[in-house]
Structure 1
Amino acid sequence: MDAETGGGNAVQPYGDDFVTHRVDQAKDLIVTQSRLRGLLRASRMVASDLSLPVVLTRIVEAACDLVDARYGALGVISHDQNLEQFVHVGFDESMVRRIGDLPRGKGILGLLIREPYPLRLDDITTDHRADGFPAGHPPMHSFLGVPIRIGTKVFGNLYLTDKQNASRFTAEDEELVQALAASAGVAIENARLFEESQRRQRWLQASTDITRHLLAEGPNPLELIARRAQEIAVADFSAVLLPRESAEELIVEVATGEYPDGLVGAVVPASDPLAGQNGPLMVIPLVASGESVGALVLGRRIEGRLFTDADIDMASGFVGHIALALELAQARADRDRIAVLEERDRIARDLHDHVIQRIFATAIGLQGLVSRTDGAKQEDRLAAYIDDLDETIGQIRTTIFQLRRRGRNDVPSLRGQILDIVDDATVSLGFAPHLRFEGALDSTVCNVVGEHLVAVLREALSNVARHASATQVYVTVWSTDGQVRLDVIDNGVGGVNPDGRDSSSGLVNMRSRAQELGGKFIVFSPLGAGTRLSWSARTRAPDPPGGMDPSDGTGPGGGRDRSSGTGPDGGTDRSSGTGPSGG
């Protein structure tokens, strides 16, 4: 064929069409090279940081620049196939406020979650699968969505809308964004692994610090647990919940951060703690020895990002360590408590076996000397010494009982209730009353009589605190020969008239209690000389109440009456029947 005539349609080697064709090819090549350089630049940019939030934002920015999209977003998919995080570009703050809640994975966004393949739409508003836009959302038309994979698992999706220099995204745009998504998957995995390693290190460090704090018996361990967990989980509030007597209820023991007023002390159902709180919540059970001993609750504001699977995993490890540390600390506290109780029992035993018996033997020896002593004066002095020894034995026995009961959480005995009332009165009186027991109180006095005696003692000490202006109070409780007697003596202003019209209802009640139990109630209160109150009753409540005289032979003035009984430790108990002055 003639080269000059050449078939009519061939491009002439150096004609205008040939040059134009070559120029167009050169332009396409330049554009392609430019876009490839843009892709390389975008890949370098997303891989230049190890902070996951920064990496996610850079991926969206690079994708928008690469295909000239006005708006872009990256949605992170949660385990329940919703969007747990939504990183967006192109929206200013006022626009975000108008839109409100971020997308959770409905409509076209949800389609990409269910079917993770690239998707291009010329106009998203006309697609029947679209869910529409919320009020305040800017208009959008062209759409390009591409999944981001880490290995075989879909991490999330890139969403790009409104191509600015054309009406729609092209197949070449799709290929470029797919290439960027592949690089982004590697960058995300590196950043996520780095961030998780850093967070795991912080959780482990917090576990170590709290365990050390617990084993050192530091103050407020639960508050420290809640505060550290809130800091590391980047939560807005945290709470530690402990079980109540009912297994179906928990009580909020401590709470930190932005929590509603009155949350501490609130009782919540164990099946759904803090169900009324808005925003993302993470509830991790505290499990020790296979049993739930409470829960750690972490929460964020309603606009905060959801907790991830990694958050739950790391918090669970932290809580597991803390539950074990709490169990160890409790075991250590129990061991120390047992050691203290054993030491108190040893001291009490030594006091009884050695000290009391030696004093008792001395008192018996002195009693033997009384009958062989000439002169009333010397006899009185020896008797006074014997009384002092009796008083000392009674005080030591009271101390033994206090040592043996302190730290025990069982139902208090009558002696224990009396000790508690005297301890409570120390605050209102401004000083500690002197207390003395005589006789086997707990084994002889029935519950009904004991309740009356406790009520009378409480009222008597209350009257002293309010009216007597006393600086000393002596409380003595006798139980002997089927009778129990309570004496309360103070050195206050006196002048109480139990039979006059001004007699208080408290004194009337004391008298009625004594009469109901077949006992007596006597008050001796000369003006300016203090008050002596003596209340007595049968140790067993009469049925019906009788009127017998329960006096044990010692009036309120106190003659010398030595009766043997059994103290709380099973030893012999000697009562002098005298007041604190020994007269």
Structure 2
Amino acid sequence: MFPTVARLELDDLLSQLVDRAQDVLATQGRLRGLLQANRAIATDLRLPVLLRHIVEAATDLLGARYGALGVVAPDRTLEEFVHVGMTDADVERIGQLPTGHGLLGILIDDPRPRRADDIAHDPASQGFPAGHPPMRTFLGVPITVRGEVFGNLYLTDKRDGVPFTAEDEELALALAANAGVAIENARLYHESQQRHLWMTASAEISRQVMVGADNALATLVHRVQEVADAPFVALALHTTNQGTADGGDPSKGAGNAERGGRGNGGEYARVAVAVTERDGTGSAHAGLGTDASRAGRLIPLAHTLTGRVIAEQQGLRVDDAELDALPDERAARTGPLMVVPLVAGGDQCGGALLIGRDRGARAFTDGDLDMATSFAGHIAVALELARARADQEHLRVLADRGRIARDLHDHVIQRMFAVALGMQDLAQYEDPSNADRLNGYVEDIDATIKDIRRSIFELRGQGPTKRGRLRTALDKIAEDVRPALGFAPAISLTGPLDTVADDQLTDHLLAVTREALTNTARHAHATSVEVRLAVDGDMVTLDAVDNGVGIGDTTRRSGLDNLRARAESLGGTFTATVPPAGGTHLRWTVPL
């Protein structure tokens, strides 16, 4: 038998052995739990899902009743707060979720682990809002990604009621380290997916632009809307506009003159196409409706985001577009905004692409800006190649028409002329009845020769509906209104109007000219009026200037309203101003 003292020592040793075995089992259980938690957070690479998995794994591992992960914003507040443990009723009672003050803010300013046995008595605590469930114990650890703090992991109310221990802190730190790796992988995965979407969209839109698809630009803004998850997208093309002469506003809503207008000869970007609403189907191809009210609006390049991007040929992003952008550079609800340049190479920038998300949505990152800029560069190259291809095709058509005109002039007309001369010579030897018939044939040949010459003239212009029709019709309008005016109006054409004006634009130009001259005859009491039609870059401008009594105060301006409606229907602008010397200056400008 063992002595009593020896037996007591043996019992003590056995008790210590059992305690240590239990500690080993507990440690093994914690390590097993950590491994399970690590597996749980690595099951999904979607960042929103991953963040929730991290919080759920941490609460299970450390036995906490509540858990949260706060994502730190650049301004050192919490831009996102993912939480578990609270019911929907609790969240509704609390209202606004934490933004990073009090005890939560300590970890943002000093990203080191922090424990508290009683939150209410911690010096940094600012208390709980009304309706917040009671919480006592607290553990917070930072989550770092590539050496930078991504966010903080918060755990409260350990289920056994005891404070969090140093071992709990070590486990939380280990889990946070693995979470940082998982978050970085999720970011890389998301970036690769986004880059793939941008590249696919670039290939699709470039192909449509190159083949000259009618809805290529509408497809462009819808695809960008889908890929960037941005309700507002606009394509603005660089142009030189004369729309502010004599103080006229270049377009309704284009911004105040002091914020960008340069007066006569100012530079602008014209909105070619824009979209501000989703099509409701989740696909950019399901519906290609665009915001027609924005098309044709002019964005001044002076002191604007668009102008800065075009001048510097570098994309930029802002978090609050309402503070930094003109109304035409954003939608009413736009918060985060990216503006990227359309640079096809060299020193010329063809315009800018504006991409905006609603206020409260996720801000754009540098990665988003880089991908959007690359996309815009590809589209700019496609637009430039399509333009060059169209120019080559146009030159080829003109060359063919020139060749046909030369052949008609040098061969067909000469042969017909020789036949007519021969018939005239033959007629003098025939009896009168045959001579009259031969002379009639000669007259028919002369008429045919005139028709061929007219066709040659039109071929050397733009076709049977262009140059001859526009110039002749303008002269006819001038002759028609001459009696009412009491003098002949002056009409001048500058630039290749006969080449660039299609039938629809020609009809509008004739109608606007007639309306302007008729208004002058009825109301101006002028002694001179000049109508100038000109092509300036990608714009066609019609100016009607008289030396009459001016616009006057009458509110009945149906004629001017018609001119404005015609311009806006083509995406253009209309202004009616009084020059310094008096009279009236009507300016009607539309894009080609």
In 1, Cα distance between equivalents of 2:130 and 2:425 = 106
Give the counterpart letter for 1:267 in structure 2. R
Superposed CA offset, 1:320-342 (max 9, x none): 22222222222222222222222
Superposed CA offset, 1:100-139 (max 9, x none): 6666655555543443222334555666656777777656
Note closer, same or farther for the CA distance 1:138–1:386 as it changes in structure 2 (3 Å cut): farther
Is 1:35 aligned to residue 11 of structure 2? no
- After superposition, residues 103-118 of structure 1 pair within 5 angstroms as 108-118=103-113
Is 1:382 aligned to residue 438 of structure 2? yes
In 2, Cα distance between equivalents of 1:110 and 1:266 = 48
- After superposition, residues 12-23 of structure 1 pair within 5 angstroms as 12-14=8-10
TM-fit CA distance, 1:349? 2.3
Note closer, same or farther for the CA distance 1:343–1:82 as it changes in structure 2 (3 Å cut): farther
- After superposition, residues 390-469 of structure 1 pair within 5 angstroms as 390-406=446-462, 415-418=468-471, 451-453=477-479
Give the counterpart letter for 1:381 in structure 2. R
Superposed CA offset, 1:169-222 (max 9, x none): 333322211100111122222232233223322322222222222223233111
- Partner of residue 508, structure 2: none
In 1, Cα distance between equivalents of 2:238 and 2:206 = 21
TM-fit CA distance, 1:274? 0.3
In 2, Cα distance between equivalents of 1:366 and 1:132 = 114
In 2, Cα distance between equivalents of 1:360 and 1:96 = 96
Answer whether contact 1:238 1:256 (CA < 8 A) is retained: yes
Q: Select which of 142, 147, 152 maps to 2:142.
A: 147
TM-fit CA distance, 1:30? 3.8
- Partner of residue 278, structure 2: 258
Answer whether contact 1:99 1:134 (CA < 8 A) is retained: yes
Is 1:286 aligned to residue 316 of structure 2? no
Single out whichever of 100-109 and 283-292 deviates more from structure 2.
100-109
TM-fit CA distance, 1:144? 2.9
- Partner of residue 267, structure 1: 297
Answer whether contact 1:240 1:255 (CA < 8 A) is retained: no
Answer whether contact 1:84 1:308 (CA < 8 A) is retained: no
- Partner of residue 70, structure 2: 75
Note closer, same or farther for the CA distance 1:33–1:307 as it changes in structure 2 (3 Å cut): same
- Partner of residue 341, structure 1: 398
In 2, Cα distance between equivalents of 1:251 and 1:306 = 24
Give the counterpart letter for 2:227 in structure 1. I
Query: Unmatched 5+ residue regions in structure 1?
Result: 422-446, 457-505, 510-515, 517-583
Is 1:64 aligned to residue 59 of structure 2? yes
**Number of residue pairs the alignment of both structures matches:** 421
Answer whether contact 1:82 1:104 (CA < 8 A) is retained: yes
Single out whichever of 254-263 and 340-349 deviates more from structure 2.
254-263
Superposed CA offset, 1:432-461 (max 9, x none): xxxxxxxxxxxxxxx9x66523769xxxxx
- After superposition, residues 197-236 of structure 1 pair within 5 angstroms as 197-236=192-231
Note closer, same or farther for the CA distance 1:326–1:261 as it changes in structure 2 (3 Å cut): closer
Superposed CA offset, 1:473-496 (max 9, x none): xxxxxxxxxxxxxxxxxxxxxxxx
Note closer, same or farther for the CA distance 1:336–1:113 as it changes in structure 2 (3 Å cut): farther
Answer whether contact 1:163 1:169 (CA < 8 A) is retained: yes
Answer whether contact 1:144 1:159 (CA < 8 A) is retained: yes
Please report the TM-score for the alignment, with normalisation by the length of structure 2. Answer: 0.61
- Partner of residue 365, structure 1: 422
TM-fit CA distance, 1:251? 1.8
TM-fit CA distance, 1:54? 2.8
Superposed CA offset, 1:216-272 (max 9, x none): 323311122222223323344533333453534542613264399665427374522
Give the counterpart letter for 2:423 in structure 1. L
SS at match of 1:405: coil
- Partner of residue 433, structure 1: none
Note closer, same or farther for the CA distance 1:402–1:132 as it changes in structure 2 (3 Å cut): farther
In 2, Cα distance between equivalents of 1:238 and 1:404 = 42
Structure number with the higher helix fraction is 2
SS at match of 1:50: coil
Is 1:238 aligned to residue 233 of structure 2? yes
In 1, Cα distance between equivalents of 2:93 and 2:235 = 36
Answer whether contact 1:144 1:169 (CA < 8 A) is retained: yes
Is 1:120 aligned to residue 146 of structure 2? no
What is the root-mean-square deviation of aligned Cα atoms in Å?
A: 4.0
Answer whether contact 2:72 2:78 (CA < 8 A) is retained: yes
Note closer, same or farther for the CA distance 1:389–1:453 as it changes in structure 2 (3 Å cut): farther
SS at match of 2:9: coil
Note closer, same or farther for the CA distance 1:389–1:79 as it changes in structure 2 (3 Å cut): farther
Query: Unmatched 5+ residue regions in structure 2?
Result: 242-265, 280-289, 306-324, 483-517, 522-527, 529-592
TM-fit CA distance, 1:60? 1.6
Note closer, same or farther for the CA distance 1:262–1:221 as it changes in structure 2 (3 Å cut): closer
Which of the pair has more CA radius of gyration? 1
- Partner of residue 323, structure 1: 380
- After superposition, residues 489-504 of structure 1 pair within 5 angstroms as none
Q: Select which of 353, 363, 374 maps to 2:410.
A: 353
Answer whether contact 2:116 2:137 (CA < 8 A) is retained: yes
In 1, Cα distance between equivalents of 2:36 and 2:181 = 15
In 2, Cα distance between equivalents of 1:61 and 1:388 = 96
Note closer, same or farther for the CA distance 1:76–1:418 as it changes in structure 2 (3 Å cut): same
Single out whichever of 333-342 and 112-121 deviates more from structure 2.
112-121
In 1, Cα distance between equivalents of 2:291 and 2:126 = 39
Please report the TM-score for the alignment, with normalisation by the length of structure 1. Answer: 0.61
Note closer, same or farther for the CA distance 1:134–1:312 as it changes in structure 2 (3 Å cut): farther
Note closer, same or farther for the CA distance 1:305–1:128 as it changes in structure 2 (3 Å cut): farther
Superposed CA offset, 1:331-380 (max 9, x none): 222222222222222222222222223223333333444445431x3333
Answer whether contact 1:99 1:136 (CA < 8 A) is retained: yes
- Partner of residue 525, structure 1: none
